[in-house]
Structure 1
């Protein structure tokens, strides 16, 4: 008995030692910016598992629908022998098969349950461009603007579409998957549909919560401590080229360690367009966006001042390099931010400053209105498009629903964080081009490259009601229709 306990203790010690050595090896490789390809092999294996799950679900559903067809056929034969088998099951089965296809390009047009006809109403018209487009140019157009009761139907139709599924609020919810990724947070009651899927789900649950999560928490803890220590030491150096080089190396190294805590796999495209200075703008999904970009380049950051875990990181970063933190509710603070931003961009020795012009997190299916402030500063703008693969983990942070610690918990119990980052060619503001037009031009380029829907709505609708002038503009247009103007 004593011998068995001794052997068990020795095996436990060996296992723990091996696990610790393996984690320190991962941390060392991440700090050196190296990888042996384990995470990419792991992601490739997950794709095969998801595909097997999809095929298994399709097979079970075909059997279920076949059984229902036989039952309906027998019932119809009894009631009316001349009836043919119901076609409804075939339609349903075809729809389920299409939904079960891989994500691919399905997300490029966003989630939608209704087919919208392009309309010019119920859309914010900031620059009165839509009103100018709708001015009558000939007698036929004037005749079409005469009052007709059917004119109200466009508004009724758009209102019903908005009730069923509007373009805005759906962007503040988690992206809907076409395939089940074996996570209960995207549960479609498939884990018990067959014994094979049940076994795979149980194994996956054990791996995520018993193996991956403790390792990720440990690596994250070490990474935060290392970041805090390194930035404090580098911050003591005198300003100059040596300090700037040290800051860049330290930040890339530290964020590489933190990225390994999420099993992240990042594919960087067009690195020849990587920003060197000026302003870098990107679409915004979560604070992880900074992590993905800082693993490849050094940036100064601008954003809202936070407390808690994010506050620790913000204070650590501020010790080593110039960053701009502000309070969103204070108007005076916003004016000071604009001034500091101009000063930062005017110094060519400063690293590029990373800005998310949307001002809030969107679920990575679309790009919403860019605030014009960063486009009024002048200088070169470097657009960056970020697209996450939601099959492995939903990177979107719904800050109105989850705290930062809850969000981190979900990230560390996901399969992985997989994303593509595209560095786009630099852009400058054209002569006689307004800041709003320039912002929209940059936004459209990012949306096109990332396969995202380009929306004109303000992302702050996540927290506040539509602006009063938008409502008044719609009322004014409708009154003109009624008057036949």
Structure 2
């Protein structure tokens, strides 16, 4: 859809002259006597079909759309029950969950800040305490959603030369995984209170931040990733190679950076059950605070997490092929559909060269038929 919109905008603005694609002979010969036959339209139908398909069934846009369940309060018998549920969720569950979260933060900072700022030396002891505190706080978050999480497979172990990769639906993916093991995560830098938590809390467990709009960040992050995976006492590294949140029905292209580190790649598949709430975070339409409020006013957050067998680069296999093989494993295990899109297109417009090439192909297909 984005590519189609860009092409249309370019045509409207530039008004390319179709005579540029005509031969000199065809320009000199008048064509008023010629008729456009049905076969002429049929011959350009693949291009028209592609355009219509982009409008009707845009597989890229569908990856980033929330799919709310069908309403069930449609008659006089169910509507009163739905109203009662709203009162319980907003009047009882939400205040109690906010209280649990507030108490959790108070206890967390009461223990974390003295360890982080006051105690000098004993770095290994400090790291262990911070790991446990971060795990505890993530458990408080999951409790505030009445999280029902079922973990499958062995718990992640603290070993060097390994990296964990998972499909990405929301920032809560990290919280759900972090309550089981203190991962060091690579994540987009966020503003506000989330940025404060990143700088003061998550950096203490070795997390790495980047800004997708800064080209220089890629080299710095790649170097930090290699250094982190070589450390013996570092926390396991967690990467979301899609690079953006997808709606838990699809998986988009995995970035190859996580698969070029020369270490074991441990796939993690996450699948949310939408029976009570859709956990997808559409960051372009909703702040993370409002996303948390939506989760805390639902009945529960239900999901399954599978820790799959570690994978290694095979002889003769490229990093891109390695990434696709791991994506296949995660997609099959979580029941997700694979699509061949780069998730960063969600943030950036397609290259002008791509849209110009599409325009040229379409113009040539039309003019070839008119010349006959």
TM-score (ref. length: structure 2) = 0.80
Deviation string, structure 1 residues 196-226 (Cα, Å, up to 9, x no partner): 2022111101110000110111112222333
What is the correspondence of 1:72-151 to structure 2 with a 5 Å cutoff? 150=42
Does structure 1 residue 256 correspond to structure 2 residue 139?
yes
In 2, the alpha carbon distance for the partners of 1:349 and 1:204 equals: 48
What is the correspondence of 1:351-430 to structure 2 with a 5 Å cutoff? 351-430=235-314
Pick one of 159, 162, 177 that aligns with 1:293: 177
Partner of 1:265: 148
Partner of 1:453: 337
Partner of 1:170: 62
Partner of 2:87: 206
What SS is found at the alignment partner of 1:359? coil
In 2, the alpha carbon distance for the partners of 1:475 and 1:329 equals: 28
In 2, the alpha carbon distance for the partners of 1:463 and 1:374 equals: 21
In 2, the alpha carbon distance for the partners of 1:398 and 1:472 equals: 30
Larger Rg: 1
In 2, the alpha carbon distance for the partners of 1:259 and 1:322 equals: 22
TM-score (ref. length: structure 1) = 0.62
In 2, the alpha carbon distance for the partners of 1:360 and 1:218 equals: 31
Deviation at 1:393, TM superposition (A): 0.8
Residues 266 and 420, structure 1, Cα contact 8 Å, conserved in 2: yes
What SS is found at the alignment partner of 2:348? coil
Deviation string, structure 1 residues 54-108 (Cα, Å, up to 9, x no partner): xxxxxxxxxxxxxxxxxxxxxxxxxxxxxxxxxxxxxxxxxxxxxxxxxxxxxxx
Deviation string, structure 1 residues 115-165 (Cα, Å, up to 9, x no partner): xxxxxxxxxxxxxxxxxxxxxxxxxxxxxxxx9974533332232122012
In 1, the alpha carbon distance for the partners of 2:120 and 2:41 equals: 74
Deviation at 1:479, TM superposition (A): 9.4
- C-alpha RMSD over aligned residues: 2.6
Is the deviation greater in 346-355 or in 313-322? 313-322
Structure 2 CA distance for partners of 1:280 and 1:202, relative to 1, 3 Å: same
Deviation at 1:481, TM superposition (A): 8.7
In 2, the alpha carbon distance for the partners of 1:314 and 1:427 equals: 29
In 2, the alpha carbon distance for the partners of 1:272 and 1:173 equals: 32
In 2, the alpha carbon distance for the partners of 1:281 and 1:237 equals: 34
Partner of 2:104: 223
Partner of 2:113: 232
Structure 2 CA distance for partners of 1:472 and 1:462, relative to 1, 3 Å: same
Structure 2 CA distance for partners of 1:480 and 1:380, relative to 1, 3 Å: farther
Does structure 1 residue 282 correspond to structure 2 residue 174?
no
In 2, the alpha carbon distance for the partners of 1:387 and 1:253 equals: 23
Partner of 1:132: none
Does structure 1 residue 160 correspond to structure 2 residue 42?
no
In 2, the alpha carbon distance for the partners of 1:323 and 1:451 equals: 29
What SS is found at the alignment partner of 1:440? helix
| Unmatched 5+ stretches in structure 1 | 1-146, 181-187
Partner of 2:24: none
Give the number of aligned pairs: 326
In 2, the alpha carbon distance for the partners of 1:384 and 1:244 equals: 25
